[in-house]
Structure 1
Amino acid sequence: MLKKILKLVLSYINRFILCIRKKAHVVNSELVLVNIFSKDKSNIIEFINSSVMKTHVNIIGRNNNIIIKGNHKNLNINIFGDNNKLELGFETKSINGEIIVRGHDCLLSIGNKTTFGKRAYIVCMGESNKILIGKENMFADNIEIWNTDSHPIYDLSGTLLNPSKPIVIGNHNWIGKNVCILKGSVISDNVVIGMASMISGQKIYPNTLNVGSPIRCIKNNINWERNFIQK
């Protein structure tokens, strides 16, 4: 009981400090040890129906928009650039995750009821680049999602060989532990990706079980459920 009261008091103090400093807009949310660094007043940070603990938000740039609606603990968010948008939907969940957006006019969107285990690492980089993740996905621990190679590679004439490319992940997918999803990848709906697999620009079709590095389909016409197996 005492612990719950202390948490409520800390949440009230945290919300009050963020609001009085005009760092964030808070609606029906519980915030504990949430720190925001943003020098430019054009950046907008909103917490809506969320529970967020021990989280750091760092924004260097202008006209960036962050909307957090889920339950997150030990989350680090770093935005570098202008006109970027990050949205974490209702009932999303993450623990010890890190999100990096670097560039201009980028969009990183995670749909309602999508959950991550521990240590998700998500990087969205480039010009008008995107990572779109649908609703009701289940990501296990140690997931990496990169829509960029981070550093440019050129041919000898100066042509860029490795431009960043969007990633699109649909709805109701189960992504196993230690999976890496790289630029240009498209994952449809109702897909299972096995542990330690790598998707590198491939299209993964709906209702399939996929494993390996490189990824390959080993079973069609499957379905899966979130509840624990009984047999």
Structure 2
Amino acid sequence: MNKLKRFIRDNRMLLFVLAAIYRFFGVNRIKGKRTLKVSWKGVFAYHMNVVNCGHRNKLEIEEGCRLKNTTIRFYGNNNFVKIENDCVANELEVYVQDDSNTVSIGHNTHFTGKAHLACIEGCELSIGSRCLLSSEVTFRTGDSHSILDKEGKRINYSSSISVGDHVWIGNKVIVLKGTKISDETIVGTGSIVTGKEFEGNSVIVGTPAKIIKHDVSWHHENLK
């Protein structure tokens, strides 16, 4: 099976043809595509739902991606969502609200289950390459509602989220505004990560999350 996948991946014309056939029978829907620029040649999409309520938005999905039951929603203008080549996702939801947001997912990143990515108020939400995200993970660059001090001044402005390369995020992790997770980091199950920068090659866990181990890395396989 792996040899067959490599053969298809190395023959781009065959990849494009098979992906187009797969999409044709995949019951994919794009609403508002007149004002949405979409690029998804060589993408294997099944039951994908794209909703565009805005203008000059752009969706770019690179070849080799395998997306099932994925939903992408644009509510605003001049937004950009990019998923690089060979990503895998099942039940991924990307929600973009307001103007001039960017959501990017690096190549060969895998979502193993349901995930929710919300990017609002002109922020950037970036996830690096070769990352592994377990099921029921949530990313939010903002709160979607205002919190005010006693003088009526807003105190909860949105802020960008950055996740580096080769990061492993466990089940039911929540990553909130202003978070920066560096390369080779492991985030433990059920952690809430918010508003801090974490060094690479570390393990972070807890509510709120904190570093409990340094100088570590991880591998997809159980090595002997």
TM range (shorter): 0.7 to 0.9
Whole-angstrom CA distance in 2 between matches of 1:144 and 1:217: 20
CA distance in 1 between partners of 2:112 and 2:135 (Å)? 4
Q: Which range is displaced more, 78-87 or 202-211? A: 202-211
Shift of 1:42: 3.1
Equivalent position SS for 1:98? strand
| Residue of structure 1 in register with 2:215 after alignment | 221
Per-residue deviation, residues 151-202 of structure 1 (Å, max 9, x unmatched)? 1112233321101000011100100111000000000000011111110111
For residues 41 and 146 of structure 2, the distance between their equivalents in structure 1, rounded to whole angstroms, comes to 37
- 1:78 equivalent to 2:41? Answer no
In structure 2, what residue type is equivalent to 1:117?
A: T
RMSD: 1.3
2:92 paired residue number: 97
Identity of aligned residues (%): 27
Total equivalences in the alignment: 202
Long gaps (5+) in structure 1:
1-26
The offset of 1:71, in angstroms, is 0.9
Decide which of 208, 212, 229 is 2:206's aligned counterpart: 212
Match of residue 45, structure 1, among 35, 38, 43: 38
Residues 1-231 of structure 1: matches in 2 within 5 Å?
29=19, 30-31=22-23, 32-38=26-32, 41-69=34-62, 70-126=65-121, 128-227=122-221, 229-230=222-223
Q: Is the 8 A contact 1:88 1:110 kept in 2?
A: yes
| Cα 1:67–1:118 shift into 2, 3 Å | same
In 2, the alpha carbon distance for the partners of 1:152 and 1:92 equals: 34
Normalising by structure 2, report the TM-score.
0.87
What is the CA–CA distance in structure 2 between the aligned matches of 1:158 and 1:82, rounded to whole Å?
Answer: 28
Structure 1 position 230, deviation (Å): 4.8
CA positional deviation for 1:80: 0.3
Give the Å deviation of 1:210.
Answer: 1.2
Query: Amino acid of the residue matched to residue 173 of structure 1?
Result: V
* Structure 1 residue identity aligned to 2:174: C
Partner SS for 1:48: coil
- Counterpart CA distance in 2 for 1:180 and 1:117 is 15
Q: Distance in 2 between matches of 1:230 and 1:106?
A: 40
Q: Contact 1:97–1:118 at 8 Å: present in 2 too?
A: yes
User: Please, which runs of 5 or more residues in structure 2 have no aligned partner?
Assistant: 1-15
